[in-house]
Amino acid sequence: MQFIIRSIKGLVYSHIFISLMAALYYISGYQQTGGQAFWPTEAWLVMASTFIAYNFFRMFSAPVPTDDAREKEQWHLRWRGAIRGLCVLSLLLCLGLSYILFSWQAFLFLLHLGLISLCYNAPNNWPKVLQIRQYPFLKVFVVAYVWAMMAIGLPHFLHTGLEEAQRNLPILLGHFCFIVAITLPFDVKDWEEDEQQGLVTLPHRLGLKGLIALALFFLCLALFFLHVYSPWASSVTFLGAGLLIINTRKKWSEWFYTLGFDGTFLLYYLCLQILDK
């Protein structure tokens, strides 16, 4: 049991878990827009680029070792060499797959998503104007834009063509609303940390109940846009996400948010494969 717990922590702390969820979420969008492959090659590209986006700055710096460092920081201190090695391998994989798969239009499209992601994860020594996290009322929608465009926009550049973009606009809007709904609760997780930094976020303005209501509103919008295209997957996944949103509390640990809300990507993928085939 201890080995399983340590393995799960390693997957989460290293951001391998969220990188895998990104790949599965891309496949979900790819299949909804007409793709047929079980695991398209570019899913590896999405996984590798997500891993780089979350770990890029750890290649050049590491937490200062202190006795009272949090468990997550201590883990990164012990494994920073492995993380740097995986970042290098992921970068080589991205470059190789980009050369094989992409037109220059698709490359520029993914590049702008990557730059936004790097700015979102930028350290405190970057210029404030480039630190997207410092814009509390904007960052949720920036995250939703990047993930929705990765899942729905990228397949158009690689497979279906831009002429199909208008037909699939409701799918894009549905995924955007879904990401907004499951991202809003993360501000509750960061409530105290944001207060210490002087950031006024949506939970501070709306209160916990108001934030939950807003997240549920976006979740209902997502279901409105997507139920025609994937009725069972959308219904089951959004029901699970809705239960998580309703039970959002300040006291819950990081695992509730990471494994719970990020885990909805896995649930959505499985439901598409099993229920909506």
Residues 14-34 have pLDDT tens digits of 899 999 999 999 999 999 888
Q: Name all contacts of 219-224 with Cβ < 8 Å and 24+ positions apart.
A: 219/177, 219/178, 219/181, 219/182, 219/245, 221/173, 221/174, 221/177, 222/174, 222/175, 222/177, 222/178, 222/181, 223/174, 224/174
Cα angle 185, 221, 28 (rounded to 5 degrees) comes to 80
Distance (Å, rounded) from C-alpha 274 to C-alpha 229? 14
Check residue 174 and give its pLDDT.
94
Distance (Å, rounded) from C-alpha 275 to C-alpha 16? 27
Check residue 169 and give its pLDDT.
86
pLDDT at 54 over 70: yes
Check residue 153 and give its pLDDT.
85
Residues 162-198 have pLDDT tens digits of 566 667 888 999 999 999 999 999 888 777 666 666 6
Task: Please answer whether residues 154 and 202 qualify as being in contact, where contact means their C-beta atoms are separated by less than 8 angstroms.
Answer: no
Check residue 116 and give its pLDDT.
86
Q: Which alpha helices (H) appear in 33-168, and where do they start and end?
A: 42-55, 71-101, 104-120, 139-148, 154-155
161 — pLDDT class (breaks 50, 70, 90): low
160 versus 271: the higher-pLDDT residue is 271
Check residue 68 and give its pLDDT.
47
Residues 198-253 have pLDDT tens digits of 666 777 788 889 999 999 999 999 999 999 889 999 999 999 999 999 998 877 77
Distance (Å, rounded) from C-alpha 100 to C-alpha 256? 39
Task: Please answer whether residues 186 and 257 qualify as being in contact, where contact means their C-beta atoms are separated by less than 8 angstroms.
Answer: yes
Check residue 74 and give its pLDDT.
79
> Average pLDDT of the chain?
83
Nearest to 25 by CA among 161, 166, 143, 165: 143
DSSP-assigned states of every residue in 231-255: HHHHHHHHHHHHHHHHT--TTS-HH
Distance (Å, rounded) from C-alpha 172 to C-alpha 167? 10
Count CB-CB contacts under 10 A for residue 275: 15
Distance (Å, rounded) from C-alpha 145 to C-alpha 121? 15
Residues 57-108 have pLDDT tens digits of 776 665 555 544 577 777 877 888 888 899 999 989 988 888 887 777 777 7
